[in-house]
Amino acid sequence: VTIHEEIKTRTGNYQVWIEKYKESLTNLAKAGLRVITYNFMPVNDWTRTNLDYEMSDGSKALYFNWVDLAVFDIYILQRKNAAAAYPQTVVAEAETRHASYSQEKLDQIAGVVMFGIPGEKKITVEGMREKLSLYDDITQDKLRSNLVYFLQQITPLCDELGLDLAIHPDDPPCDILGLPRIVKNIEDLEFIINSVPNKSNGICFCTGSLGANPNNDLPEMVKKLGTRIHFTHLRNVKKDPQGNFFEDDHLGGDNDMYAVVKELLKIQQEVPNQISFRPDHGHQMIDDLKKVTNPGYSCIGRLRGLAEIRGLQLGILRNME
């Protein structure tokens, strides 16, 4: 359930939006839902630079490239002092690429970066500038404070309703477009849990989002978070030395999915409720290549990921027995 920007900035009618959020939570509980996922990413939610990255088998994946993001940030968005946010090598390459890209290519990059959540109204470059300006005076500490306030308002109700909250990590897990990110590593996640210790306050452990940060040790993070993991998104990424990444096969990529799933299954033995998981994202492949699908959510690729993860779970459980 998405969070209104005025809640994130704690401005305008934020208290009204919080009350409406509580009403939604109550209705969801009545409908039988138990786990509520949300994120606190400012303005842009998840961000990629290519939605059709071609894999060696001909399938298509989502891709994030720092140089193309810099092209958007410096030359299309024209954010003030944007170049200072990138290494000089990235700025230089962005200048070269911008000069070589056609207007069609530049429009394509802008559309991908600003894609947002499917079904929501598309944002324009000018609209993006306006939304970014709302965060001019919001530091990482301020955004953290706003998140804690929001959780303090809703967790008592969630405790009463028997709901489990699961905050989704930032995607990618780093500051972008001048915006602070506060859900990107174990320190952030432990801060969120410790600041609002209500039993309903928990984590959506997304291996793809967290795994895009090379400093994140995913199996160790699972161990530390333990039963506060209320939901899991299982997918994999492949990173290069510059920090660019594409979404790889679920059992491929840089992240040790075996070790992550093994630790999650250990936690499952300690809690009464099933820890839900999903094969988060999948490659566009076979017949789905001919269809219009939401990025990451074509059917066949996700079913392949589901089959792989279920097989991995079965093997680990049999070995645990």
206 among known catalytic residues: yes
4 is a catalytic site residue = no
Q: Tokens 């070995």 map to which residue?
A: 319
Q: What b-and-e string marks burial along 94-124, b requiring 16 or more CB atoms within 10 Å of the CB?
A: bbebbeebeeeebebbbebbbbeeeeeeebe
Clarify whether 233 is annotated catalytic: yes
Q: How far is CA 299 from CA 57, 279, 293, in A?
A: 17, 11, 9
246 neighbors 262 (Cβ within 8 angstroms): no
> One of 101, 175, 297, 299 is an active-site residue; which one?
297
Rounded Cα–Cα distance for residues 50 and 54 (Å)? 10
**3-class secondary structure, 166:** strand
What secondary structure letter does DSSP report for 312? Answer: H
Examine the residue annotation and report whether 280 is marked as an active-site residue of this protein.
yes
The structure tokens listed for 128 are: 């993006």
Which among 206, 248, 250, 288 is annotated as catalytic?
Answer: 206
Rounded Cα distance between 109 and 280, Å, is 23
Residue 174 annotated among the catalytic residues of the structure: no
Choice among 170, 171, 188, 280 that is catalytic: 280
Whether 68 sits among the annotated catalytic residues: the reply is no
Q: Considering the candidates 233, 248, 250, 288, report the single residue annotated as catalytic.
A: 233
- From the candidates 14, 63, 164, 168, which is the catalytic residue? 168
Contacts of 177 (CB under 8 A, 6+ apart): 43, 44, 69, 73, 77, 79, 132
How distant, in Å, are the alpha carbons of 110, 162, 182, 307 from that of 69?
A: 9, 41, 20, 34
The catalytic position among 98, 230, 281, 283 is 281
Which active-site residues does the annotation give?
A: 168, 206, 233, 280-281, 297
